[in-house]
Structure 1
Amino acid sequence: MSSSPRSPPTDLTRKPSSATDGRTERVGGVKGDGGKKSSAPRGALEPRGVLVLKTPAGTGNAVTGARACGPWIFSNQVLSCSLRDPAEKASQTCGSSQGSAAPSSAPGAGDEPGSSASTTETALVRVQDERGVSYGVAYYNRHALISARFLSEDADELIDHNFFLSRFRTALQSRMSFSRSFSWSMHGHSQRDTVDVCRSEFHGGDKATEVRDMFFRLVNGEGDGLPGLVVDLYGEYACIQSLTRGMDSLMPLATAALRSLLSLGGILVRRDRPDRALEFPHAEGAGDTDRSFAAWRSEPVVAEGVIPSHVVLAENGCAFAVDLRAQPETGWRFDRREFRRQVALLSAGKRVLDLSGHSAACGITCVHLGKADRCVVVDNNEQSAMLALKGMNLNGITSARLEVQQEDVDTWLKNYASRLVSDGDPCYFDVVILDLPNLAWRKSDVPGARASLRQLVETVARVTAPGGYLAITNSSRHYSQGTFLADASVACASAGRDAVLCAEGGAGFDFPVDVRLPRSPELQWTILELSER
């Protein structure tokens, strides 16, 4: 990641004219400078320690290519980490697997209500090798396998309000480069003639609604130079996920910078993604069950403004009701945007089955955008079913075209497949959507994930019509796409179906990934055409 992010475009903010009298202007949801200094806190967080990297065997006295291998430092790469205790004005040295970190001296660290961070365990550090050659500034967590994550390659760069503001501006410019929708807010109505994936319009019969606003991921962790941070925009609202303990301590600066950049009605901070558990130590003798109740998870916190019970989102010409507090991720899976569109293109006049529907996102897209003849959505989550009904109302879809069944997916599939065999009364489905959750958060989860996938796909293939399509998502970095496809193919064969790969893809342009990361992107999706053997 660059130590000096690209400057934002000159048209992103507008300088005050005589007519504005120095007041802050809003330009398409982006705040202008207006000649007025923001009251947001700008205090820099000072590194209070030095992390020394081990010299790899056979490389002499230099840590060659330490940064070329990625934005992370693993625990086995750490020789030592010296942390200064601001209270005692002394320093203590801890190895990568021993010692105790001192309380953070960072202003505001851990001050945000609802923070689950323990500031005695994390700190900003300068990273260097044994010769004293500097590699940048990172935040450090002695309990995590990924001990440190780089914020900047410049060890002297201040981690302050302006640091986050610059990163946010760069991320916004990146999204603008890919989406014409952003130009609408800066060039008036003359260019509002194209429906875009981020900014959309939809019409739902008697309850027609029109939305032209920004719905996308603004920050995607390391891909935007902010490891452990996810920021999703829902029109005038933003939802943040902090994925690491280090980012927990930086959250006050991040939210203040976001307020400075965008005119938002509310900012919600969440700390509940399951992989956060990897940032916290096991209790003595505790297993995974005990770990699931650890301090890694906390209730959502409204950091700014007001967050309604649900917001309305526009995507692919459809409208959806989203619960920012309770639904997975930040409330909506923006990475599935292209997947939903591609599946909808196959669904015209067809019978569609949407499993684990996540508020019927794909099913509604197939019916409203793709003109599917009929869709059945199966989801065991009561809240998802409720949001699916709201989405149907927003898009003017009747229960005759889209049916929501609140039931366990495995049970429903087995019962439906049995009825097909016994009396042939139910119909096969032309398109089946299997939008899976993350089956393997860790490498150790992969064997179980593979067994679960094979069993599920075999059952799904039995209810898919010959010549029909099976659309599947793979959300695990540890479950390689090659292995995933091989397992799906074996499962289809067990059900008497041959599978042909028709289309595949990943997340959209608003999900950049640092190419130095040692794992594949989180989301990969596949569409298979099934035929009888």
Structure 2
Amino acid sequence: MPHGFPIYPWLCLLFTYIRGLNSTVGESRMKSLLLKPRSCSRVLQGHPWVFAGEVQDLLPGSENGKTVVLRDSRKRILGSGVYNQNSKIIWRRYAWNKVPFSMQFIRKSIEKAIQRRPVETCRRLVWSESDLLPGLVVDQYGDALVVQALTLAIDMRLPAIATILQELTNAKAVVFRNDASVRKLEGLETYVGTFNDQVLEPLNLDIDGLSYQLDLLKGQKTGFYLDQREQHALVSTFAKGGAVLDAFCNQGAFALQCAKAGAKSVIGIDSSDTAVQLARYNAKENRLEATFEVENVFDYFTNNRDERFDLIVLDPPPFARSHAQVEGALKGYKEINLRAIKALNPGGILATYTCSQAFSMEVFEDLVSGAASDARRTIQILHHCYQAKDHPILLTMPESAYLHGLILEAD
């Protein structure tokens, strides 16, 4: 059993696994949800989610985690999805036709997801709805896999999924990072553990030419910001000979890539002492010169208002995790970008990002534009940036494009 996993939920999970190993709900037994007449649900335009208020009647709790067919008010099939009445998102599509969410389907979907990605030591293998597996996220770090089960349907099948992943990748260890708060919205407990109660120590891995110490059980996200790998490389091309500030530096990936690229000086700031200690360790291991300090980034700009930089990286945690938090987050993003723009030397580069799903690129660009106007600086856009390609974006699901960035040059 996973280390640290509550006993009773594990027994329930094991029972479900044994009962559903060979198949889940048979196609002939699949229940149906009906959209309300004259529904304006985004699912009619291809979005994979349906909310509770968009259907005529909810199904009983006995259908939670099972396959359910969605139909419009005329009973035409709109797809097959996994159901959970305890979630605001009660239905998540994985197929356009009537197909059970069987282990055979899951295995084939995982195989396709792996085949779509280039072979690398560290990569995202499965990305939820983008790979037709709602709620399943899998990252690979060498011989170890980190798995997140963010929906009830995936959580119910987790032991079988872990077994499939090991068979397909020859992974020696599987970590369950089920500590994301979104699990609570599915009625699930949060925990961190390992498959078969395996003991796993922090490991050192080479990622894009640098060695990092990764703690897959306690580190940020699943151990590393894999979605920013392409940005680490791109931003470093602006670093040679310049003074670099990496704000919200975490384990120091932006800072260390810039130091490797020949920056004159590199400073990394983060409010987490653990992150800063890890960044210092990584700098030492790679024999790179970089300074890392524990400080609130807003306070750092205030306390060092006379400092100027040739390159500033802003990669904060999400200020808005829901639409209800957007208004406050807008003020925060604008203010931090305003302070960064003021701290740029003439011709300086700002690489600024948001990982808040509630923001589109257009909204993010508007707020940074407002910050530039307030700073009375003329700014040119050099690059629009998104998450790494192994985090594919669904055309009909804006939420799958959660990472937005701009690389800008100031006058």
The reply to whether TM is greater than 0.5 is yes
How many residue pairs match? The answer is: 391
How far apart in 1 are the matches of 2:357 and 2:67? 27
Indicate if the aligned counterparts of 1:310 and 1:324 stay in contact, CA closer than 8 A. Answer: yes
* Structure 1 residues 304 and 386: CA distance shift in structure 2, 3 A: farther
- Quick one: which amino acid aligns to residue 375 of structure 1? V
Matches within 5 A, 1:83-482: 83=60, 101-102=61-62, 122-129=65-72, 132-157=75-100, 159-160=102-103, 162-176=104-118, 182=119, 198=120, 214-280=121-187, 296=188, 298-304=190-196, 306=198, 308-368=200-260, 370-397=261-288, 401-417=289-305, 420=306, 427-482=307-362
Choose from 38, 49, 55 the match for 1:72.
Answer: 49
| 1:386 Cα offset (Å) | 2.0
The offset of 1:135, in angstroms, is: 4.1
Q: Percent identity?
A: 25
Query: What do the CA deviations read for 1:378-410 (whole angstroms, capped 9, x no partner)?
Result: 11112211221221132112xxx2001112222
Asked if the contact 1:234/1:311 (under 8 Å) is kept, the reply is no
CA contact (8 A) 1:266 1:304 kept: no
In structure 2, do the counterparts of structure 1 residues 136 and 69 end up closer, same or farther at CA, with 3 Å as the change threshold?
A: closer
In structure 2, what residue type is equivalent to 1:148? W
TM (norm. structure 2) is 0.88
CA contact (8 A) 1:469 1:530 kept: yes
Structure that is richer in helix per residue: 2
Distance in 2 (CA, whole Å) between partners of 1:503 and 1:58 is 39
Q: Residues 130 and 481 (structure 1 numbering): CA distance in 2 closer, same or farther, change over 3 Å?
A: closer
Select the structure of larger CA radius of gyration. 1
Q: Secondary structure at the match of 2:378?
A: strand
CA distance in 1, matches of 2:376, 2:181: 36
Q: Which moved more, 1:251-260 or 1:148-157?
A: 148-157
Secondary structure at the residue paired with 1:469? Answer: strand
Q: Which residue of 1 aligns with 2:5?
A: none
Indicate how the Cα distance of structure 1 residues 326 and 339 shifts in structure 2: closer, same or farther if over 3 A, else same.
same
Pick which of 321-330 and 164-173 moved more.
321-330
SS in 2 for 1:497: coil
How far, CA to CA, are the matches of 1:323 and 1:232 in structure 2? 13
Which stretch of the first structure deviates more once superposed, 41-50 or 459-468? 41-50
Q: Distance in 1 between matches of 2:35 and 2:334?
A: 42
2:199 & 2:234 partners in 1: Cα distance? Answer: 32
Which ranges in structure 2 are unaligned for 5 or more consecutive residues? 1-17
How far 1:74 sits from its partner (Å)? 2.1
**Can you list the C-alpha shifts for 1:221-269, whole angstroms capped at 9, x where unaligned?**
1111111111000010000112223322222221121122121121001
TM-score w.r.t. the length of structure 1 is: 0.68
Contact 2:43 2:49 (8 Å CA) reproduced: no
Does the CA contact (< 8 Å) of 1:50 and 1:81 recur in 2? Answer: no
Q: CA deviation at 1:277?
A: 4.2
Could you tell me how far apart the structure 2 residues matched to 1:448 and 1:277 are?
A: 23
1:198-222 Cα offsets, whole Å, 9 max, x none, are 4xxxxxxxxxxxxxxx210000111
- Residue by residue over 1:331-376, the C-alpha shift from the partner in whole angstroms, topping out at 9 and shown as x without a partner, is 11111011111110000111100011011111011112x2212100
Residues 146 and 58 (structure 1), Cα distance of their counterparts in 2 relative to 1, 3 Å cut:
closer
Return the alpha-carbon distance in structure 2 between the equivalents of residues 220 and 149 of structure 1: 14
The CA deviation at 1:471 is: 0.7
Taking the aligned partners of 2:198 and 2:215, their CA distance within structure 1 comes to 13
Q: 1:46 aligns with which of 25, 37, 42?
A: 25
Aligned to 1:487, what secondary structure does the other structure show?
helix
